[in-house]
Amino acid sequence: MKERTVLTATVLKRKGTFAWMWDLGARERRVFGACVGGWALDAMDVQLYSFVIPALITTWGITRGQAGILGTAALLMSAVGGWLAGWFADRFGRVRTLQLAILWFAVFSFLSGLTQSYEQLFAARALLGLGFGGEWAAGAVLLGESIRGA
């Protein structure tokens, strides 16, 4: 019993930026982890892709403008993906939509690594953008609906 009292006192004394996470239930933590995990994949893709651009320019002989279009394709299509994910989430559920968006993003991210031309990479990055936007849209709404208010 004494151990439990000490543990409870320790938890209650925690303060700081992430103190609110101790108040989340198990379901809320799972939702939070899934959403943040999907968003982390998106951020990693955007950052790592910026390191690939110089290699693409050298290897495929594409212009800087074409390289910029490749990066922009995913971001523009993410707007479409967000809109489609919102529609899909309203009809089939937020969790299923988030799962599908993460899978879609992962598949086309993998396929981006197998492309052999500018056109193929453009198509893969554009389709990847649908999942990118879907993750943000479905994840934000799911998180907002799942985490209880203060």
Could you state, in order of their start, the residue ranges of all structural domains in the chain?
24-146
Express each pLDDT in 113-144 by its tens digit: 999 999 999 999 999 999 999 998 988 888 88
Closest CA to 98 of 9, 37, 45, 49: 37
Q: For domain 24-146, say whether CATH 3.30.830.10 is its number.
A: no
Q: Per-residue pLDDT for 18 more than 80?
A: no
Segment holding 116, helix H or strand E: none
Considering the chain, what percentage of its residues have pLDDT values greater than 70?
A: 89
